[in-house]
Amino acid sequence: MEMIFGYFLIFFARMLDMSMATVRTLMVMQGRKFQAALLGFFEVGIYVMVLGKVVNSLDNPYNLLSYCLGFAAGNYVGIMIENKIALGNLSAQIILKTANNDILIDTLRSEKFGVTSYEGQGIEGPREMLTVALNRKDLPRLKRIVDSIDANAFITVNSISPIRGGYFIRKKK
């Protein structure tokens, strides 16, 4: 029973530290220094503890298996956590394909999205294009609005790090 508890401890500790590593890496990329450092402190403590347990008993393949499974599960869980907290900002480029452009622009603006519109040239001629800077948490809402008005719109999304200015709604905590 004690050995099985040890395997679960290795698995869950490794899953925890890898989840933290995934979120920490994304925080580093977004310039969230303090949060990344704090997560890194706890992450490395857990990592060293678990690695020591595995390395000190390399004759037990189940320790290694638990470690590897925890690593894989931690990556998965870390991505799920990061998707739920949805940190960061995005820039969406929307190429419109219908005549409902003004309706979409007005709807997005009434929903508190900052929208910049301009004309682009596609293979089929001129197209109205929109650039929308948004919080990552608002991406599903943006997609729903666009799809409800122009289901054939072409949308691309990129992560951004705004320098200054722009139109972002600050949510009260």
d(CA 153, CA 25): 32
How many Å separate Cα 20 from the centre of its chain? 14
pLDDT (0 to 100) of residue 173: 46
112-to-13, 106, 148 alpha-carbon distances in Å: 42, 10, 17
Establish if 29 belongs to a structural domain. Answer: yes
d(CA 121, CA 160): 24
Q: Please check the confidence at residue 170 and state whether its pLDDT lies above 80.
A: no
Neighbours of 110 (CB within 10 A): 9
Q: Which two tokens stand for residue 155?
A: 């949308």
Residue tagged 């999205």 (tokens): 113
Of 75, 90, 69, the closest CA to residue 19 belongs to 75
Q: Are residues 70 and 105 in the same domain?
A: no
Tell me the average pLDDT across 87-96: 88
Hey, what amino acid is at 108?
Answer: L
Evaluate whether 19 touches 78 at the Cβ level (below 8 Å).
Answer: yes
What CATH number does the domain containing 152 carry?
3.30.70.120
d(CA 88, CA 26): 9
Establish if 74 belongs to a structural domain. Answer: yes
pLDDT digits (tens, 9 = 90+) for 95-136: 988 766 889 999 999 999 999 999 888 888 888 899 998 988
pLDDT digits (tens, 9 = 90+) for 43-66: 999 999 999 988 888 888 999 999
Q: Are residues 113 and 45 in the same domain?
A: no
pLDDT digits (tens, 9 = 90+) for 148-157: 998 889 999 9
Q: What are the respective helix, strand and coil percentages of the chain, to the nearest 5? A: 60, 20, 25
Q: Are residues 135 and 148 in the same domain?
A: yes
Residue 25, domain extent = 2-85
